[in-house]
Structure 1
Amino acid sequence: MASVPSLASTVQQRLAEALSAALPEAGSADPLLRRSDRADFQANGILALAKKAKGNPRELATLVVAAIPANDVLKEIEVSGPGFLNITVTDRAIVDTLAARAADDRLGVPYNPDAGTTVIDYAQPNVAKEMHVGHLRSAVIGAAMVEILEFTGEKVIRRHHIGDWGTQFGMLIQYLIEHPHELDHKEGEEVSGEEAMSSLNRLYKASRALFDSDEEFKARSRDRVVALQSGDKETLALWQRFVDESKIYFYSVFDQLDMEIRDPDVVGESAYNAMLDETCRLLEESGVAVISDGALCVFFDDIKGPDGNPTPLIVRKSNGGYGYAATDLSAVRDRVGNLGADTLLYVVDARQSLHFKMVWETARRAGWLNDKVKAVQLAFGTVLGADGKPFKTREGETVRLVDLLQQAVERATAVVRDKDEERGQLTEAEIVEHGRQVGIGAIKYADLSTSAVRDYKFDLEQMVSLHGDTSVYLQYAYVRIRSIMRNAGDAKPAAHPELELAPAERALGLHLDRFAETVAEVAESYEPHKLAAYLYQLASHLTKFYDQCQVLSASNPPEVVENRLFLIDLTARTLHQGMALLGIRTPERL
């Protein structure tokens, strides 16, 4: 379908034409249009134009208003202050624009004409280790950005850079060699994620205890690291068993999070082993990296340690081992050179900012990043407990992610059950399923409604509340609309541009018009909290609409009922689409 213009773009065009007519020497001038609380829109561009033309801005503003021909879009234009234009659009323009959006499956959201290829690095668990609350944000924020970017036409390549390499595997593999049945399963038995993690935890604790107490086992484990890094087939086969067992667990957790994770997208540290040597060689030959105290390092003028000396990025250690920098730089080479990325988007903890700043500057010096390829960190803060400190159990342990998800689902299921006792509309299976959707949605929304870089408090009671800025509030807004639509009988949604709109109808309609520009802005700035804020404001406008405008009232003329059904139906579709972009489901009944 052809692009659906927003009210903002239509008003922008009308004003630009009037500016050119009133001040021809200005050429194609930008009226600097923005949405306003004082009117529907405000144009601020005349002040700069008047200054450039050495004219009076109020006089120029008056000329611009006079140059606008009679039309069915602009209802009123007021010259305010030193030359601002306060613009009110017609009710007809609002309904006509929304009708065009309603006829579009994409609700008027255009494809980005400059779409390219983004490789997004998110959800990075570690092999043979349990996922904890610290893994939540990368997964949730990354998955939302995948949906948003793909919806705007970007080619998105997912990368889950799992921790699947390192010295700890020498200890684990050696223990498995000496205790060969520790990861065995009964033939034909389906292993749950919890069972897989339980086996891995048991093996890790036993191997660590032996490593710490037995010097001969420690020596054999270190030899096993050398065998792993040199590609010994038996060692690699056993390493793969740990990876496969961990994937059973990973995938079960992501399934609980209602997130898709595909095997080809899991490309861990080990995937770049074959590139590490060459990465170091290229950096050294080009002079980007130098040998310092036996290590291959990259130095930066503006990065110094507490002692005032330069802090380098260590690409290869003095003992010949490779650090994270070598792997991350090799990943940059792969993602740009082999995957054809225009953008590298890393959803990683804000505390890693300095590391990635150094990696990317090194990649730029080496020519692997340039003006045509950008690297961006979508940095996120910490999940805090009610005490404002990093979220821990009462015993001071890191909170297991599966426990967190289970608590949210149980609390949400109780809320859904209590709510349904008033009406008795849901079966037990529906209560359980909807409780899952509400609980997981609550966790995701609490994360996504906060600016990613900020820390946020994990407050389960607030997250599953029916009131305030929560996903449950948005889900119930959607459910309420679906209920009205089911009770509408023969009345169908239909746009009636000829009707005069009530204030609450206008406010709802104008906010619906902002959906496309909000999605585009979020995709460009990587700020999903702005989409969450838009959806909460939409649900709030809907609440005011209900308070002031009855939909299915016998006293309303049929065209008023149809127009109001049209407005709430488009609101439901917008809520549904917006929540889906955040990875949150919208049940039909609650």
Structure 2
Amino acid sequence: MEIAFDTARELARLVSLAAAACADFDETFEPGVRPAEARFGDYQANGVLPYAKSKRTNPRALAQQLADELAKAPLFAEGMASLEIAGPGFLNIALSSEYKFAWIKKFRDESNFADGAGSLLSGKTVVVDYPSPNTAKQMHIGHLRPMVIGEAVARLIDFCGAKTVRDNHIGDWGTNFGTLIMAIKREGYDLDAAGDNALAQIERLYKEGTALEKADETGTVRDQSRAELVKLQEGDSENTALWEKIVATSNRAFERIYAMLGVKPDVTLGESFYRDKVQRIYDELTETGLAEESDGALVVFHPEHPRFNEQPFIVRKKDGASNYAGTDLATLLYRREHFGADEVVYLTDGRQRDHFEQLFLTAQKWFVKKGYELPRTSHVWWGAILGEDGKAIKTRSGEPIYLEALLNEAVERARAIVDEKSPDLSEDEKQQIARAVGLGAVRYADLSQNRTQDYVFAWDKLLAFEGNSAPYLLMAVARVHSLFRKAGAIPGDPATEAEASCLETPEELALARKLMLFPEAVALAVSDLRPHHLCTYLYELAGDFSTFFNANRVVVDEADIRARRLMLCARTVSTLETGLRLLGITPLERM
């Protein structure tokens, strides 16, 4: 009998096949298989009740009919699982210890897990739009979320079998460059002489230029900025050279942070890349009757929408300049035509929800009118990062907290803990651990939250070695490796596990059950694009392992018991390590 990686999906398939063989079920029936509370078994199929309600028939009778047919499947007929009808028609399914043992023997490591999960998105091309910072500005703490959520989402999509394109859609074109170029020329600033501080100086110049524009009641300074922007848009060599230096300087600073967080864009196609592609959008929206002129701007209305019926979607400003809407439509079309995208995932904060809802509405109508194949579109948005006072997090002086400084501080704080707890380690080991713990802690503190909620950034909590934190999970991994070193064994070595006997104790069975739920945790995280589902699972797995370890001595004299318990330890550490890597966190063998 074949052992499936995702047991819930396999059971749902078997329930659907059984229903198809029953006279009283039709194609509208959905199995509704999900993990059950342990006292009821391992899984529950709860689809009979809503189906019976829709058909106005007896759910218990339908459940019995389904159970009788399902019992013929090899899984049940061969005694690897049992069935029980409960309540008004739920099917409780309990897997045998032999089945659980067979599952953990088969699915050993990240390679096996990836093979099993690969069917979820196999054959699909998914473009993930992140981290997409704005050029000429230093990244601050608000940029943490697109970095870490975007990377986790991309890794999950990769893991589930898709061809993933990480597209870094930077903001490198717009009216702000007129102001910036004006300020650079007024000060006579040499960008080449700024060194590592260049981006901070560029940001300073932009702020000073904006202040000059506001202070000048005659409008002369603002006119100068507009003139510089027009020269840039028309290809003036001096302004183009300045713009290229600004973009290059920004990208060098961004790359340092990308490297710290393991972010590796496949392509970086900023807004400037689409400046010669937006005219096609204007033309097609106009010729299909979707766009119209309104006060000099080109807009699309959605009169059928309850919120946007009077709010135009402006795709070209009244001065003829392109904007986010026009560029985003051109970007979506390019991603479909160039990359063959089946799905595009956008990552921004929650303030842009209206924009993306209107973007998706407009794209759907436009693609249908033109006969284009529309990719599935998803907007992954998030709440704010708050200080411990519950307000938007800032420095004491009210300035934004720059991301590079925050990440460096995380490593420094982790290093102080390492120096205290493990003074005998070498300098290289201390720094490696400090980097993994510090960066992992900041990352996990963000990812473990439901992304659509605000969360409080607190150093003590995120660096704690207790509770749902990265240090706790990293320590759990390191402890298992320590166990194997003391046992003189290697995690996952077939020779170590050769004599393993079937699972017996309640703690062994509970841990195996939790290991088997890893596929569902991945599937839930990737279907909702919410990495916190995976974080919750890893935290619970570490807790179940601790319960098992405290109740069951691993290194015992009996060869078969020792082998099976080392197998459980090996599967636990491979699952924790796989999950941490999916979140972008580097596991450690020693701490």
* Superposed pair shares fold, TM > 0.5: yes
Report the counterpart of residue 566 of structure 1 in structure 2. 567
Deviation per residue, 1:151-202 (Å, 9 max, x gap): 212111122221211222123224444555521249xxxx54xx23233234
Determine whether 1:56 maps to 2:61. yes
Task: Tell me the secondary structure at the aligned position of residue 447 of structure 1.
Answer: helix
Report the counterpart of residue 117 of structure 1 in structure 2. 125
Report the counterpart of residue 588 of structure 1 in structure 2. 589
Report the counterpart of residue 108 of structure 2 in structure 1. 102
Residues 338 and 493 of structure 1: CA distance in aligned 2, closer, same or farther (over 3 Å): same
Report the counterpart of residue 237 of structure 2 in structure 1. 233
Once the two structures are TM-superposed, the CA of residue 441 in structure 1 deviates from its matched residue by 0.7
Q: Distance in 1 between matches of 2:23 and 2:180?
A: 76
Report the counterpart of residue 332 of structure 2 in structure 1. 332
Deviation per residue, 1:15-48 (Å, 9 max, x gap): 6676677x45648976543221122222334546
- Out of 166, 169, 173, the position equivalent to 1:158 is 166
- The alignment of Structure 1 onto Structure 2 pairs a total of residues equal to 572
Aligned AA (1:577): T
Aligned AA (2:569): I
Report the counterpart of residue 274 of structure 2 in structure 1. 272
Q: Distance in 2 between matches of 1:279 and 1:560?
A: 67
Q: Distance in 2 between matches of 1:17 and 1:172?
A: 65
Determine whether 1:172 maps to 2:176. no
Contact 1:18 1:64 in 2 (8 A): yes
Q: Distance in 2 between matches of 1:175 and 1:16?
A: 67
Deviation per residue, 1:97-125 (Å, 9 max, x gap): 11111177232333336531111111121
Contact 2:299 2:314 in 1 (8 A): yes
Once the two structures are TM-superposed, the CA of residue 515 in structure 1 deviates from its matched residue by 1.6
Contact 1:95 1:496 in 2 (8 A): no
- Out of 61, 73, 77, the position equivalent to 2:80 is 73
Matches within 5 A, 1:275-354: 275-301=277-303, 310-354=310-354
Deviation per residue, 1:348-381 (Å, 9 max, x gap): 1111011111122122222279775221101111
Task: Tell me the secondary structure at the aligned position of residue 344 of structure 1.
Answer: strand
Once the two structures are TM-superposed, the CA of residue 338 in structure 1 deviates from its matched residue by 2.5
Q: Distance in 2 between matches of 1:103 and 1:325?
A: 44
Aligned AA (2:320): G
Contact 1:146 1:156 in 2 (8 A): yes
Deviation per residue, 1:447-474 (Å, 9 max, x gap): 1111111111111110011111111111
Determine whether 1:142 maps to 2:150. yes
Residues 334 and 185 of structure 1: CA distance in aligned 2, closer, same or farther (over 3 Å): same
Contact 1:315 1:323 in 2 (8 A): yes
Q: Which runs of 5+ in 2 are unaligned?
A: none
Report the counterpart of residue 474 of structure 2 in structure 1. 475
TM-score for both structures, normalised by structure 2: 0.88
Contact 1:119 1:157 in 2 (8 A): yes
Aligned AA (2:87): G
Residues 11 and 498 of structure 1: CA distance in aligned 2, closer, same or farther (over 3 Å): farther
Contact 2:127 2:167 in 1 (8 A): yes
Once the two structures are TM-superposed, the CA of residue 92 in structure 1 deviates from its matched residue by 1.1
Aligned AA (2:350): A
Report the counterpart of residue 534 of structure 2 in structure 1. 531
Contact 1:349 1:381 in 2 (8 A): yes
Determine whether 1:256 maps to 2:260. yes
Contact 1:451 1:529 in 2 (8 A): yes
Once the two structures are TM-superposed, the CA of residue 81 in structure 1 deviates from its matched residue by 2.2
Once the two structures are TM-superposed, the CA of residue 525 in structure 1 deviates from its matched residue by 2.4
Q: What is the aligned-residue RMSD (CA, Å)?
A: 3.0
Aligned AA (1:327): T
Residues 281 and 547 of structure 1: CA distance in aligned 2, closer, same or farther (over 3 Å): same
- Out of 130, 137, 151, the position equivalent to 1:129 is 137
Residues 417 and 288 of structure 1: CA distance in aligned 2, closer, same or farther (over 3 Å): same
Task: Tell me the secondary structure at the aligned position of residue 347 of structure 1.
Answer: strand
Once the two structures are TM-superposed, the CA of residue 569 in structure 1 deviates from its matched residue by 0.6
Determine whether 1:519 maps to 2:522. yes
Residues 551 and 205 of structure 1: CA distance in aligned 2, closer, same or farther (over 3 Å): same
Aligned AA (1:222): R
Matches within 5 A, 1:192-203: 192=196, 195-203=197-205
Q: Distance in 2 between matches of 1:282 and 1:483?
A: 63
Aligned AA (2:383): G
Q: Distance in 2 between matches of 1:315 and 1:158?
A: 25
Q: Distance in 1 between matches of 2:316 and 2:451?
A: 32
Residues 318 and 558 of structure 1: CA distance in aligned 2, closer, same or farther (over 3 Å): same
Report the counterpart of residue 363 of structure 1 in structure 2. 363
Aligned AA (1:550): R
Q: Distance in 2 between matches of 1:99 and 1:494?
A: 9
Aligned AA (1:403): A
Residues 337 and 71 of structure 1: CA distance in aligned 2, closer, same or farther (over 3 Å): same
Contact 1:161 1:268 in 2 (8 A): yes
Residues 370 and 251 of structure 1: CA distance in aligned 2, closer, same or farther (over 3 Å): same
Aligned AA (1:410): E
Q: Distance in 2 between matches of 1:478 and 1:40?
A: 26
TM-score for both structures, normalised by structure 1: 0.89
Task: Tell me the secondary structure at the aligned position of residue 105 of structure 1.
Answer: helix
Task: Tell me the secondary structure at the aligned position of residue 339 of structure 2.
Answer: coil
Once the two structures are TM-superposed, the CA of residue 339 in structure 1 deviates from its matched residue by 2.4
Once the two structures are TM-superposed, the CA of residue 436 in structure 1 deviates from its matched residue by 1.1
Matches within 5 A, 1:367-386: 367=367, 372-386=374-388
Residues 217 and 15 of structure 1: CA distance in aligned 2, closer, same or farther (over 3 Å): closer
Once the two structures are TM-superposed, the CA of residue 406 in structure 1 deviates from its matched residue by 2.0
Q: Distance in 1 between matches of 2:453 and 2:551?
A: 37
After superposing the two structures, state which structure 1 stretch, 440-449 or 398-407, moved more: 398-407
Task: Tell me the secondary structure at the aligned position of residue 274 of structure 1.
Answer: coil
Deviation per residue, 1:106-151 (Å, 9 max, x gap): 3233333653111111112111111111111111111111111112
Task: Tell me the secondary structure at the aligned position of residue 171 of structure 2.
Answer: coil
Report the counterpart of residue 501 of structure 1 in structure 2. 504
Residues 564 and 390 of structure 1: CA distance in aligned 2, closer, same or farther (over 3 Å): same
Report the counterpart of residue 549 of structure 1 in structure 2. 552
Deviation per residue, 1:186-240 (Å, 9 max, x gap): 9xxxx54xx2323323443554565556765544332111111112233212110
Task: Tell me the secondary structure at the aligned position of residue 165 of structure 2.
Answer: strand
Contact 1:150 1:156 in 2 (8 A): yes
Q: Distance in 2 between matches of 1:338 and 1:10?
A: 36
Contact 1:283 1:366 in 2 (8 A): yes
Once the two structures are TM-superposed, the CA of residue 445 in structure 1 deviates from its matched residue by 0.9
- Out of 173, 186, 191, the position equivalent to 1:183 is 191
After superposing the two structures, state which structure 1 stretch, 198-207 or 408-417, moved more: 198-207
Contact 1:522 1:530 in 2 (8 A): yes
Residues 62 and 216 of structure 1: CA distance in aligned 2, closer, same or farther (over 3 Å): closer
Contact 1:7 1:93 in 2 (8 A): no
Report the counterpart of residue 448 of structure 2 in structure 1. 449
Q: Distance in 2 between matches of 1:513 and 1:102?
A: 11
Once the two structures are TM-superposed, the CA of residue 390 in structure 1 deviates from its matched residue by 1.3
Once the two structures are TM-superposed, the CA of residue 399 in structure 1 deviates from its matched residue by 1.6
Determine whether 1:246 maps to 2:253. no
After superposing the two structures, state which structure 1 stretch, 77-86 or 324-333, moved more: 77-86
Task: Tell me the secondary structure at the aligned position of residue 348 of structure 1.
Answer: strand
Q: Distance in 2 between matches of 1:158 and 1:295?
A: 33
Residues 512 and 293 of structure 1: CA distance in aligned 2, closer, same or farther (over 3 Å): same
Task: Tell me the secondary structure at the aligned position of residue 584 of structure 1.
Answer: coil
Task: Tell me the secondary structure at the aligned position of residue 344 of structure 2.
Answer: strand
